[in-house]
Amino acid sequence: MIDLFIRNKILFFFLGACLTGASAFSQDSLITVTAERGDGILSLLRKQGVDPYESFDDFVALNMTNLRDSVHLYAGRKYVIPAADLDTVEVVPSIKKQTTQIKKIEGKAFPIFGKKHEIVLSKSERLKGNVYYLVSGHGGPDPGAMAIYGGKSISEDEYAYDITLRLGKELLSHGATVYIIIRDENDGIRDERILEMDRDEVAYPDKTIPLNQVARLKQRVQIVNELYRRNRGKYQRLIVTHVDSRSKGQNIDVFFYHHEKSKNGKKLAESIHKTFQEKYRKYQPNRSYSGTFEDRTSLYLVKKTHPAMTFIEVGNIRNKKDQRRILDPDNRQALAKWISEGVLLDYED
């Protein structure tokens, strides 16, 4: 789906060990594990051999009352692991209650997501035929907004890029065609809190990113508009992801911009905004969501690009609360998942 990516069809067979008694993954005997210091939802699920991205929502639903801010684990507490959706096959009927579990998974490899995350499994074809252009803010010679966390520098471009990659993978899993406009072939999706800074990002497909700010923006506009022309007649949308920089004391929620004259752009921004409102009501009922969606045609990419689009600011990189939102890989995954659900809502509504 992503142009110029290596497309490999990969067949996996997960062969579980023989189990005594009822299947450990049956709905009647869900596994309970104790979270250790440093565990996140993704790492905890991986330790149990469960696909963390397929099971993320189920895990949250099962453990909602035992999570901090709906996404963080408490060390020392017990958590229920969702049942894996496995086909159970009786291998040796004559041996008392002995079973083997086999799961056959078919997917495609997209190396830009990195070794650990390159396989994209098909969830649906709900976005089949749709084209999405994903632009993460800054990159190359421009790191964007910066801050210090734990004595180390962190930069906007690295976190916006990681969220963008996770979003791209979600959209691909629903059959979309995805163009990652700002790209770093070395990084991939990363699960660390501190994302090391570099300057080797390029613009699609492999163009050097200019140092001059206006030249950088013009380059992105030209790339997106040329791809838009090539895909004329298809359903096309553009999503731009940034991390804001404000005073340290200013905590902001995720908010969205669109072109004032674009009904489709407004609808896209509104759909994602609505999804975030619903997620906050569900997972953080004691906390109001103050993120907004509004027109801001003064932004260069909003004004000059042709596809209907939304421009997303995911937080204030200098604020401690907002830093938790972007530094925690579970949070970055949740952001990407929620944005993708808003995209689905936009298309299907």
Edge to edge, the sheet with strand 236-244 lists: 177-180, 131-136, 236-244, 308-316, 255-258, 293-295
The reported pTM is: 0.79
Q: What domains sit in the chain, N to C, each tagged with a CATH number? A: 24-81 (3.10.350), 112-348 (3.40.630.40)
Where would I find the beta strands (DSSP E) of the chain? 8-15, 19-20, 31-34, 78-81, 87-89, 98-109, 119-121, 131-136, 146-149, 152-155, 177-180, 182-183, 202-203, 207-208, 236-244, 255-258, 293-295, 308-316
pLDDT in the model for residue 30:
83
pLDDT in the model for residue 114:
97
Whole-number Å distance between alpha carbons of 331 and 159? 11
pLDDT in the model for residue 12:
33
CA angle 243, 253, 306 (to 5 degrees): 55
Q: pLDDT of the chain along its 349 residues, tens only?
A: 554 443 443 333 332 333 233 333 344 468 999 999 888 898 899 888 888 877 887 888 788 888 876 678 999 999 999 986 543 333 334 433 444 444 455 789 999 999 999 999 999 999 999 999 999 999 999 999 999 999 999 999 999 999 999 999 999 999 999 999 999 999 999 999 999 999 999 999 999 999 999 999 999 999 999 999 999 999 999 999 999 999 999 999 999 999 999 999 999 999 999 999 999 998 888 888 999 999 999 999 999 999 999 999 999 999 999 999 999 999 999 999 999 999 999 999 8
